[in-house]
Amino acid sequence: MEPIIEVKNLMKTYKKRRTKELVHAVTDVSFTVNRGEILGLLGPNGAGKTTTIKMICGLLIPDSGTITVNGLNNQKKRFDSLRHISAVLEGNRNLYWRLTVRENLEYFAGNRGASRKEVAGKIDDLLEKFRLKDKENELVNRLSRGMQQKLAIAVAMLAESDVILLDEPTLGLDVETGYEVRQLLREIVRDYNRTIIISTHDMDVVQDLCERTVIVNQGKIVTDDRVENLMKLFDIRSYTVTLSGLLSAQQQQLLLQQFPNHVYTPDTVQSKLEVDLAKSEEIYNLFDVLKMEATPVESIDRNTVNFEQIFMQIVKGGTNDAMVKSS
């Protein structure tokens, strides 16, 4: 694995203009991103994600710490290192709303010194890839939010930089467009050999797209691990039992003793019982309790843990939580 971005001991404090109060946005952030990786940068509101992203793409200067892009320190070799990075920070705000889709692409390509003729093929390729060909002459302000977002990512692709930073790429998109954007990002990494860092609150993005995630809370990293490792680490054996009727008082008593954290929702027609097992063998104890009475069991379903639950679990303890790392 070849590291393309190395972030070491970043720190950034803001001073509020009016009150002069200090905000320690990033207190200690270090992580590495490998070439060809899709890394999810997560954290609750105000955790320091945008500040970190802005420091990586050179929009903010850290108070201390270093950022290396392709082996180049982004403060000492600012121009050379930033050449390797493109960023889509506020999605559609990166675009010119009174220009058409193609004009936006031509404008931003021109900004990088390329002539209209030189980039025509590249623009056609991007329009095709981002399924925007039939909208190429549409004004950006007439496009849906999803199309604007796709165009903003296409603009970032023009630079042919190794790394693309995306802040909330699926924010405000409907389910279908969110899926399409995720699909596109996957293709970008696969077909164009790019590295992507995504700051997001969208857990579908993480579960579906990111190989690794760095979770920040109150300016510090609390988790840096592969998504599949975290899924395994938090894979609690959680079951939902559906009954056609009620549990007896004795059954409820036994459940309380054996599974103190269970949740029982009684209903004369259809009751629900949710149980977390510490070990898989405990399922036999559950069966023993259920078969004590003749109440029919309609189904026993294993609940799968999703990334949202994992995320909540990791951040709810705040900065005192030990760093979660399974490997």
Ligand X SMILES: Nc1ncnc2c1ncn2[C@@H]1O[C@H](COP(=O)(O)OP(=O)(O)OP(=O)(O)O)[C@@H](O)[C@H]1O
Query: What does the angle CA 193 – CA 196 – CA 200 come to, to the nearest 5 degrees?
Result: 155
* Nearer Cβ to ligand X (60/254): 60
Task: Please name the amino acid found at residue 173.
Answer: L
Name 227's Cβ contacts closer than 8 Å, sequence gap at least 6. Answer: 40, 206, 207, 210, 211, 212, 213, 307
Name 73's Cβ contacts closer than 8 Å, sequence gap at least 6. Answer: 66, 67, 81
Do 325 and 225 form a contact (C-beta atoms < 8 A)? yes
- Establish if 126 lies at the interface with ligand X (CB under 6 A): no
* Nearer Cβ to ligand X (51/149): 51
Q: Which residues on neighbouring strands pair with residue 23, listed in sequence order?
A: 14
- Establish if 241 lies at the interface with ligand X (CB under 6 A): no
* Nearer Cβ to ligand X (70/92): 92
SS3 per-residue string spanning 290-304: HCCCCCCEEEEEEEC
Q: Binder to ligand X among 1, 16, 79, 322 (CB under 6 A)?
A: 16
φ and ψ at residue 84, rounded to 5 degrees: -90, 0
* Nearer Cβ to ligand X (46/296): 46
Please report how close the Cβ of residue 35 comes to ligand X at its closest, in angstroms. 25
Please report how close the Cβ of residue 318 comes to ligand X at its closest, in angstroms. 14
- Establish if 14 lies at the interface with ligand X (CB under 6 A): yes
Please report how close the Cβ of residue 56 comes to ligand X at its closest, in angstroms. 12
Residue 28: exposure state from Cβ atoms within 10 A (0-12, 13-18, ≥19): middle
Please report how close the Cβ of residue 168 comes to ligand X at its closest, in angstroms. 7
Residues between 35 and 94 that touch ligand X (CB under 6 A): 43, 45-51
- Establish if 200 lies at the interface with ligand X (CB under 6 A): no
* Interatomic CA distance for residues 300 and 306, integer angstroms: 19
- Establish if 280 lies at the interface with ligand X (CB under 6 A): no
Count of residues of this chain found to bind ligand X when the rule CB under 6 A is applied:
12
The rounded Cα 254 to chain-centroid distance in angstroms is 41
Please report how close the Cβ of residue 152 comes to ligand X at its closest, in angstroms. 17
* Nearer Cβ to ligand X (19/299): 19
* Interatomic CA distance for residues 290 and 241, integer angstroms: 9
Question: Other C-beta atoms within 10 Å of 229: how many?
Answer: 16
Please report how close the Cβ of residue 218 comes to ligand X at its closest, in angstroms. 9
- Establish if 20 lies at the interface with ligand X (CB under 6 A): no
* Nearer Cβ to ligand X (105/215): 215
- Establish if 220 lies at the interface with ligand X (CB under 6 A): no
Please report how close the Cβ of residue 31 comes to ligand X at its closest, in angstroms. 15
* Nearer Cβ to ligand X (25/209): 25
Q: Are strands 263-265 and 195-199 parallel, antiparallel or unpaired?
A: unpaired
Please report how close the Cβ of residue 98 comes to ligand X at its closest, in angstroms. 28
Q: Is 144 helix (H, G, I), strand (E, B) or coil?
A: coil
* Nearer Cβ to ligand X (185/215): 215
Residue 322: exposure state from Cβ atoms within 10 A (0-12, 13-18, ≥19): exposed
Cα distances from 94 to residues 70, 72, 149, 153, 158, in angstroms, run 25, 26, 9, 10, 13
- Would you state the structure tokens that stand for residue 114, as one six-digit string? 């390329």
Please report how close the Cβ of residue 21 comes to ligand X at its closest, in angstroms. 9
- Establish if 137 lies at the interface with ligand X (CB under 6 A): no
Q: Which residues bind ligand X (CB under 6 A)?
A: 14, 16, 23, 25, 43, 45-51
